[in-house]
Amino acid sequence: MYAFAYHRPATARQAAGLLAKKEDAKLLAGGHTLLPTMKQRLASPAHLVDLGACADLKGIERKGRNLVIGAMSTHAEVAASPVVQEAIPGLAYLASHIGDPHVRHRGTIGGSVANNDPAADYPSACLALGATIVTNKRKIEADAFFTGLYETALEEGEIITKIAFPVASKAAYAKFRNPASRYALVGVFVAKRGSDVRVAVIGAGEGGVFRWSEGEAALKARFAPKSLDGVKASAKGINADMHADAEYRAHLIGVMAKEAVARAVGK
Amino acid sequence: MATVSMTVNGKAVTATVDPRTLLVQLLRENLRLTGTHVGCDTSQCGACVVHVDGKAVKSCTALAVSLDGASVTTIEGLATNGALHPMQEAFREHHGLQCGYCTPGMIMAAVDMVNRRGNDLDEKTIREDLDGNICRCTGYHNIVKAIAAGAEAMGGKVQVRQAAE
């Protein structure tokens, strides 16, 4: 790891001030992507602004129809939160299956969403639930937030402060993990809110998280696992690597979507 | 350089370190607590697991300066007055180790598992929760047995050390 100057602001506002003032500064959240990247010398920021002491980025609460989660909430905190378990149990389930127990004690929702790793779990929940990503400058709809592999709508100096998830009537997540790395080969989050049904897929798309429109159309007719019988995801634009080719991943989208729907309807 | 203060195994420590110093480096190199191991150095193997404010974390993937003010427990901090912690005793009793390299991380992960899930752990739960700890001797069978027994012993229901010893 190359040397850097370290900063530990106490509020998001102070953090934004540091980001604006310091050249080549990066934010550090839970550090479970950035620190390994820096160790491999794939990143070498001159300044590291640690959000760990920003108490205003913590906290989980129900606000009317929304579940609002502070950006520095760890995966373990989201998974164990009675508020999350009551409002959107599928989201607590997702958080409880990220990485391993030790990773979940450090990794954060804000870090995961800002990084937009194509195999990260949270982006699927954001997109399927129609979440709003709140930053120190504005509010961004999930549909406009995830713009490509590791790419988001975040601008220079912008910090995610919280994420607001509208509470869905039915929502669940299912993923198929690579048995060795435990990263998702394919993960699917399904959500039904009123007549709207959204199906978001991670791990599979060449451009990162995406919505599976054929699946959504089939589930809008009837929100049941059976509705997905015979609905095939196209292998076009789907990742292929040594672990799974595009056809196999596309097939998994259907299988995982079906499992997620079954979970959502409690079967 | 930056100054970091924390409590390690109940003792207050202050160190002046380069900000890029990892928690595991502070523990091993500055404090000479070499029970915490570095296996993969890429957040996968869990040999470096310690407790920070009561929660298991991978000390190879945390900056020491990020943990200013934290309370850290390492494998050296488990035994009390020369008596092994019930989880350590269970690993000894059930031979939950082969080469021993992963053992400190396994034991810290196991104690964390009990803290989170209680004293009655079934095999499936233990195996799932060991997701972040790798034993390259593949000695999982006895590790799982040791954790189940250690968890029970931590609840005070079973006397692990036999009276005949």
Q: What is the 3-state secondary structure (H, E, C) of chain A?
A: CCCCEEECCCCHHHHHHHHHHCCCEEEECCCCCHHHHHHCCCCCCCEEEEHHHCHHHCCEEEECCEEEEECCCEHHHHHHCHHHHHHCHHHHHHHHCCCCHHHHCCCEHHHHHHHCCCCCCHHHHHHHHCCEEEECCCEEEHHHHEEECCEECCCCCCCEEEEEEECCCEEEEEEEECCCCCCEEEEEEEEEECCEEEEEEECCECCCCEECHHHHHHHHHCCCHHHHCCCCCCCCCECCCCCCCHHHHHHHHHHHHHHHHHHHCCC
Residue of B nearest to A54 (CA): B66
Tens of pLDDT, residues A50-94: 999 999 999 999 999 999 999 999 999 999 999 999 999 999 999
**% of chain A with per-residue pLDDT over 90:** 98
Which single residue is written with the structure tokens 């988001």?
A152
The reported pLDDT for the residue numbered B157 is 52
Chain A contact set for B18 (CB, 8 A): 3
Please report which confidence band the pLDDT of residue A267 belongs to, taking 50, 70 and 90 as the band edges: low
Closest CA–CA distance from residue B62 to any residue of chain A (Å): 7
Are B59 and B49 in contact, with CB atoms under 8 Å apart?
Answer: yes
Amino acid at B68: D
ipTM over 0.90: yes
Q: What are phi and psi of A130, to 5 degrees?
A: 65, 45
Q: Which two tokens stand for residue B93?
A: 């009793």
pLDDT digits (tens, 9 = 90+) for A189-213: 999 999 999 999 999 999 999 999 9
CATH level 2 (architecture), domain B2-77: Roll (3.10)
Q: Which A-chain residues 16-45 have CB contacts (< 8 A) with chain B?
A: 28, 31-32, 35-36, 38-39
Q: What are the angstrom distances between the C-alpha of A42 and each of A34, A45, B82?
A: 9, 10, 45
Mean pLDDT of the residues in chain B: 94
Confidence of residue A179 (pLDDT cuts 50, 70, 90): confident
Q: Are A5 and B19 a contacting pair at CB < 8 A?
A: yes
| Residues A257, A214 contacting (CB under 8 angstroms) | no
Taking the CA atoms of residue B145, residue B146, residue B152 and residue B157 in that order, the dihedral angle to the nearest 10 degrees is 110
- Say if the Cβ atoms of A50 and B113 lie within 8 Å: no
List the one residue out of B6, B43, B47, B10 whose CA is nearest residue B26.
B6
Q: Which of A50, A36, A34, A4 is nearest to B48 (CA)?
A: A36
d(CA B78, CA B110) in angstroms, rounded, equals 12
Instruction: Look up the CATH architecture of domain B86-153.
Output: Orthogonal Bundle (1.10)
pLDDT tens digits, residue range A21-50? Answer: 999 999 999 999 999 999 999 999 999 999
Of A143, A70, A138, A152, nearest to A108 by C-alpha is A70
Helix (H) or strand (E) holding B49: strand B49-52
Give the residue from A105, A178, A183 with the most B CB atoms within 10 Å of its CB, the best one to mutate.
A105
Residue B106: its H or E element: helix B103-117
> b or e along A204-240 (b: 16 or more beta carbons within 10 Å of the residue's beta carbon)?
bbeebbbbbebbbebbeeebbbebbeebebebeebbe
Residues in chain B: 165
- CB of A125 closer than 8 Å to CB of A91: yes
Place B160 in a pLDDT band, splitting at 50, 70 and 90: very low
Contact across the interface for B19 and A48, Cβ inside 8 Å: yes
| Residue showing tokens 């995982």 | A256
Structure-token pair, residue A259: 């499992």
* Alpha carbons A134 and A106: distance in angstroms, whole number: 21
Instruction: Spell out the domain ranges in chain B.
Output: 2-77, 86-153
Contact A39 B131 (CB under 8 A): no
H or E element that contains B51: strand B49-52
Check the CA dihedral B14-B18-B19-B24 and report its sign. negative
- In chain A, what percentage of residues exceed pLDDT 70? 100
Condensed to tens digits (0 to 9), the pLDDT of residues B97-132 reads 999 999 999 999 999 999 999 999 999 999 999 999
Cα–Cα distance between A106 and A77 in angstroms, integer? 10
Contact between B19 and A99 using a beta-carbon 8 Å cutoff: no
Of A106, A108, A134, A136, the closest CA to residue A12 belongs to A136
Per-residue pLDDT at B86 exceeds 90: yes
Kindly state the helix (H) or strand (E) to which residue B86 belongs, with its residue range. helix B86-93
- What's the confidence (pLDDT) of residue A181? 83
The mean per-residue pLDDT over the stretch B82-95 comes to 97
Residue B162 has pLDDT above 80, yes or no: no
Could you tell me if A128 lies within 8 Å of chain B, comparing CB atoms?
A: no
